[in-house]
Amino acid sequence: MNFLINVLILLLTIIIMECLSWFIHKYLFHGPLWFMHKSHHQKSHSFFEWNDLFALLFAGLSLYLMYIDRNDFGYRFFIGLGISLYGLIYFVIHDWFVHRRFKTFKSNNTYLRAVRKAHKIHHKNQGKEKSRAFGLLFVRKDVLK
């Protein structure tokens, strides 16, 4: 029973992270934290962007949660693990596949192509205002077509 609860916590954390990421992206990154996030919307001449600091923040939180619960493997450990797994998923899909920081990942998968298309819709507007499609994993039906 504990195993199933831990798996459920892990999966719920990944889903909550996607929802939280959408909210943070829309209302903070394209709001008061635009001064850092705008590096992601501009052509970069560097491998790293100021925007990458957000990933470090979430990585630190996940490591902290796993560390404080390392002896018991309680719910905090699995929340931390879920945040880490979401970060890995985000890195592979967003940085590797969508933005092609590494040129090795190509796919003709309908869902992954829709993710890339939605993100291109988001980046079509280079400014802080009037952006659309703030999420990563949840793609609207009209983009899937």
* Backbone torsion region of residue 100, taken as left when φ is above 0, otherwise alpha when ψ lies between -120 and 50, otherwise beta: left
Q: How far apart are CA 48 and CA 79, in angstroms?
A: 27
Q: Which stretches of the chain drop beneath a pLDDT of 70?
A: 44-45, 105, 123-135, 142-145
133 assigned to some structural domain: no
SS3 117: helix
131 assigned to some structural domain: no
DSSP string of 33-75, one letter each residue? THHHHGGGGS--SSS--GGGHHHHHHHHHHHHHHHHTTTTT-H
**Residue range 51-86, pLDDT digits in tens:** 788 889 999 999 999 999 999 999 999 999 999 999
Domain residue limits at 97: 2-38+49-106
Q: How far apart are CA 50 and CA 61, in angstroms?
A: 18
65 assigned to some structural domain: yes
- Which amino acid is located at 75 in the chain? Y
- pLDDT score at 40: 75
59 assigned to some structural domain: yes
130 assigned to some structural domain: no
Q: Total domain count for the chain?
A: 1
- pLDDT score at 45: 67
